Amino acid sequence: MKLPAPSLILLLLLTICFSLATYLQPQTMKWGERAQADSMMKALLGDGRRIFANHFFVKADIYFHSGYYPSIFDQGHREESHSRHMVEGHDDHDEEEHEKAMDIGQPKDWIDRFGRQFYSSSHSHLDKPGQAREILPWLKLSAELDPQRVDTYTVAAYWLRSKLGKPAEAEDFLREGLRANPNSYEILYELGLLYYENHHDLVRSVNLWELALRRWNDQDKAGKKPLEISYNEITTRLAQVEEEQGNLRQALYYRELEKKASPIPDAVQKQIDELKQRLASKTVSQSLK
Amino acid sequence: MNAVFALSNVVIKELYRRKDFYVLFILTVLITLVMASASLFNDDKIVRYLKEICLLLIWISALAMALGTASRQIPAERENRTIFPLLAKPVTRWHVVLGKFLGCWLACGLALVVFYVFLGLVSASREHTWPVLNYFQAFWLQWIFLAVVIAIVLWGSIIFAAPSSNATICLVFVLGILIVGRYLNQIALQQSEPMRSIIYGIYFIIPHLEFFDVRDLVVHDRGLVGWGACVLVTLYGAAYTLFFLFATWLSFRRKALN
């Protein structure tokens, strides 16, 4: 039997490949999450990308400490939440605790002592103006890999809006996070802060915080154990704004809520008492008029 | 000494005749430039991630070149039987070992200079500064690191049967030290005897290659390493290099060539 020309065989094989591809491609779309991936990372790594997302989030924390970071051998005793440390101001006690958690201990021998000259072995933060931008690439990458990790959006937005003067970029990133996590009270709270502190748009910020409070309550009812500290932050902000606006009744309502989750309920109670007094005197003055 | 330089000259010429360096350099340039082109929150001053990626690629490339070049030197001479005419000249086996080492080391040094110039350019394009001394220290310490690695690989090329197995074993050994070498003392303290003493013994014996890795300091602008420490670590690297070269010569001296 005489075989056709090799170029014809090649053409036939290419046609078969193409035909099969057109048939198989829609089938493979149903096979799993990876096939329906909307990003290259998702397609390449599947759910495994979440491990890398965590790695890059930690990397941002390492950058925040200018390369100083306890190794896995040192950090068994660490309890602090990385994201909270990256965004919040600390009082002396917090800073002392943080120093303790980040401590890599005294050198154990001469090799250890000598070796510390060749890597970042002293604790510091990115405090100089604009330096904080260096953590952003890792947070962006972390968000790409795991869009459901809410901390990534809130931490990045905090630095963008409060230290780098980029509220527009912060808002874009938060909205990206909100699209991926529509029920996140943390993102809504951060978005509210952005409107309050950067855009000075009181109405929008109150709306966002109220929505955040509703989302928090929904999650609480669903037994998802939302963070108490977030509840405290949201209610505190709402109470403050209502007080500033002169809506004392509403402020009182939020202070009562705040007291439930506050680590210092006595201080909140004092504020409640003051508010009640102001409300009473306001009522008296109104009735006199 | 002329014989040593002549031998090293051949190795350097081999490196730039082969395509390894060009491929690795172009890959490093491409990956770094792609990363640099990424738009991150409309901020074009973000530079540390770029320096970190570029330095990582430089380390990978340099290690690949050192392992690849050093592992095939002596086996290739034996396989091609060019070792016989070589040793028929007034060249001793010590000259061969030293010449091969010097050639590989200088070739890697030349490649490193090109890589570090590129790093400096990338960094300067964003930071608008030239921390030349920091780059020099990083370059110098990496070069000393490569000297130790090349000496280890040369010894491996006498002990192990094939260049591929030698390169793989040496790669695992070097990476192992770079990753956990610094923490072996902590691991030892968590063990009970006799494991504690064994691990501590290993900790003190191994060459602490992580000393030569100052990428952290360069990336995070942590300043210069003390010059005294630089001299000491250079002596430390030189001592280990000499040890491995001597071990290579000892093994090579008794080795049948056919």
Per-residue pLDDT tens digits for A256-283: 888 887 888 888 888 888 878 887 887 7
Q: Three-state DSSP class for A16?
A: helix
Q: Three-state DSSP class for B66?
A: helix
d(CA B61, CA B111): 9
Q: What percent helix, strand, coil does chain B show, rounded to 5? A: 80, 0, 20
What pLDDT is attached to residue B211?
A: 92
d(CA A265, CA A254): 13
Question: Tokens standing for B18?
Answer: 């082969």
Question: Which of residues B63 and A100 earns the better pLDDT score?
Answer: B63
Q: pLDDT per residue over A9-68, tens digit each?
A: 999 999 999 999 998 888 877 776 666 666 667 777 777 788 888 889 888 888 888 888
Q: pLDDT per residue over B180-214, tens digit each?
A: 888 888 888 888 888 889 999 999 999 999 999 99
**Contact residues, chain B, for A173 at CB < 8 Å:** 41
How close is the nearest chain B Cα to the Cα of A122, in Å?
10
**Residue A56 · residue A138 · CB < 8 Å:** yes
* Nearest chain B residue to A63, by CA: B220
Burial bucket for residue A153 (CB in 10 Å: 0-12, 13-18, 19+): buried
Residues of chain B with pLDDT > 90, as a percent, come to 50
User: Helices in chain A by DSSP H: which ranges?
Assistant: 6-28, 40-45, 49-64, 82-87, 92-102, 110-115, 136-145, 150-162, 167-180, 185-193, 202-221, 228-244, 248-261, 265-288
* Nearest chain A residue to B215, by CA: A119
Q: pLDDT per residue over A64-118, tens digit each?
A: 888 888 877 776 545 444 555 666 555 555 667 777 777 777 888 888 888 888 8
Question: Which of residues A279 and B34 earns the better pLDDT score?
Answer: B34
How close is the nearest chain B Cα to the Cα of A172, in Å?
9
B158 has a pLDDT exceeding 80: yes
First to last CA, chain B: 26
Q: pLDDT per residue over A159-206, tens digit each?
A: 888 888 889 999 999 999 999 899 899 999 999 999 999 888 888 999
Interface test with B, best of A64, A68, A116, A134 (most B CBs within 10 A): A134
Least confident among A10-14, A75-79, A135-139, B165-169: A75-79
Q: Does B187 touch chain A (CB under 8 A)?
A: yes
Q: pLDDT per residue over B221-255, tens digit each?
A: 888 888 999 999 999 999 999 999 999 999 888 87
Domains for chain A: give ranges and CATH numbers.
Answer: 42-89+120-155 (no CATH), 183-281 (1.25.40.10)
Question: Cβ of A137 and B42 within 8 Å?
Answer: no
Question: Cβ of A138 and B49 within 8 Å?
Answer: yes
**Contact residues, chain B, for A113 at CB < 8 Å:** none
Q: Does B233 touch chain A (CB under 8 A)?
A: yes
**Residue A142 · residue A122 · CB < 8 Å:** no
**Contact residues, chain B, for A137 at CB < 8 Å:** 38, 40, 46, 49
Q: Three-state DSSP class for A79?
A: coil
**Residue B181 · residue B209 · CB < 8 Å:** yes
ipTM exceeding cut-off 0.85 for this assembly: no
**Residue A191 · residue A150 · CB < 8 Å:** no
pTM summary value: 0.84
Q: For residue A231, which of A209, A252, A216 has the smallest C-alpha distance?
A: A216
Q: How many CB atoms lie within 10 A of CB B64?
A: 16
d(CA B105, CA A88): 49
d(CA A125, CA A119): 15
d(CA A94, CA A257): 25
DSSP class of residue A36 equals T
Interface test with A, best of B43, B179, B233 (most A CBs within 10 A): B43
Question: Cβ of B182 and A67 within 8 Å?
Answer: no
What pLDDT is attached to residue A171?
A: 92
